Structure 1
Amino acid sequence: MLYPMNVRIRDRDVVVIGGGKVAHRKVLGLLDAGAKVKVVSPELTSDLLSLADADRISWHPTSYEEKDLEGALLIIAATNDHDTNLAVKMDAAPHQLVNLADDPAESDFQVPSFMKRGRLTIAVSTSGASPILAKKICTQLEQTFDEQYDSYLEFLAACRKKIISSVKDGTVKKQLLMAITDSSFLESDEREGRFAALLEEAIKEEGQ
């Protein structure tokens, strides 16, 4: 059983063992999250080499050794040799989390397929049963949660701050937070004005 969570890895050390296409995909996701990525591999794909030349990743052009794992929060074993990937798992310290790209069942964590719309992130996992199906589901979700959710999430975030700072009654806060998630706010061109009126009315009622 997996425990789903979002992990903040900005400026944290992550090690990727392997320099192929799978490693490249993993590295891109890690860089998007702001991680400090070290790649250990005698050779790199041209895309990874470009990242190394641009100093976006640290490249150690050697075969894997246990010392390569020192200081890493997360470790991804993405070589084309299963025995090497298992060795990485065995060498990791108890506090380090390891993902084996070719063996989800033996991994401490799995990287799900996901879609993003601004602040909205939806992750889909089949627990390793079918990554292809997970990607298909994400494609369907992208059609449901289209580009309008970018601005809508920014609106919700701003409203939440105002509600928390302006309204004292817990029940009223919850009612307002629920109200702005109604689909009519998502589709409205005047949602800021509608929210301002709702908030003003709630504050007036509290003051009576």
Structure 2
Amino acid sequence: MRRGANPRRRARGGPRMNRKYPVMLDLRGRACVVVGGGAVALRKVEGLLECTESVRVVSPSIHPGLAALVQAGRVEYLARAYAPGDLRGVFLVVAATDDPDTNEAVWQEAEALGVLVNTVDDPPRCSFYVPAVVRRGALTLAISTDGKNCALAAALRRELEERFGPEYGPLLDLLGELRDRIRREERDPSRRKALAERLATAGLDRLVACEGLPAARRRAEELVAQRGATA
């Protein structure tokens, strides 16, 4: 298939063909562009900066928040309107202007070059959607409504923020550390899996929240030691 071809336009099938494939993109070292300079563009830039240091803004004028990021050297800024060719060598672009013609031009160039594109509030001109996100350290929870109702996604995000508190960040770091240790020490895959599931469901999150990470670590170490005693 030639670069830039759009297989979605040739796809055939039932309702399942309309489903989106959820992925987690590694944007480190990949060029990302936001076309637009308003409050919406600022939010998109802030989200991208959580994942990459390579963000460029293209707009004749920019929001004070964006100006501060430019001043701090965190964002590259082209102080002009979008022009064809701005997406060469780009991995991902967000079209966030209030001009439908500009957004359409960005979409067309992105499609031609095979660049991932999100056009704000215009689902048909998106090759990806940006979900509502809850982050707790390495834990990421994402909610998408396929662009049908962002308010519902935001409401669900607030529920998840209450359900999954800040304790999940250090807890996940602890579980990752123990996983590496168990993989080194336990040769039996089924026993490794059983212990990982036991650690994940042992209420360690409540221990972190109520008594702190050291208490959760002690309990986790006990569970790992019990595995050794019964081997």
Taking structure 1 as the reference length, the TM-score comes to: 0.93
Measured in 2, the distance between the counterparts of 1:184 and 1:20 equals: 44
User: Matched residues in 2 for 1:42 and 1:32: separation?
Assistant: 25
**Structure 2: distance between partners of 1:196 and 1:14:** 43
Q: Which of 138, 151, 159 does residue 119 from structure 1 map onto?
A: 138
Distance 1:86 1:35 in 2: 26
Please name the residue that 1:90 is paired with.
108
Matched, 1:99 2:118: yes
1:57 to 75, 78, 89: 75
| % identity of equivalent residues | 36
Q: Is the 8 A contact 1:14 1:35 kept in 2?
A: no
* Residues in 2 aligned to 1:91 and 1:184: alpha-carbon distance in whole angstroms: 50
Shift of 1:204: 5.0
The aligned residue for residue 227 of structure 2 is 202
Q: Which residue of 1 aligns with 2:37?
A: 19
**1:66 & 1:131 partners in 2: Cα distance?**
30
Secondary structure of the equivalent of 1:69? coil
Question: How many corresponding residue pairs?
Answer: 206
Instruction: Tell me the distance in 1 between the aligned counterparts of 2:202 and 2:134.
Output: 20
Give the RMSD, CA atoms, in angstroms: 1.5
Note if contact 1:112-1:123 (Cα within 8 Å) is conserved in structure 2: yes
- Pair 1:48-2:73 in alignment: no
Letter in 2 for 1:68: D
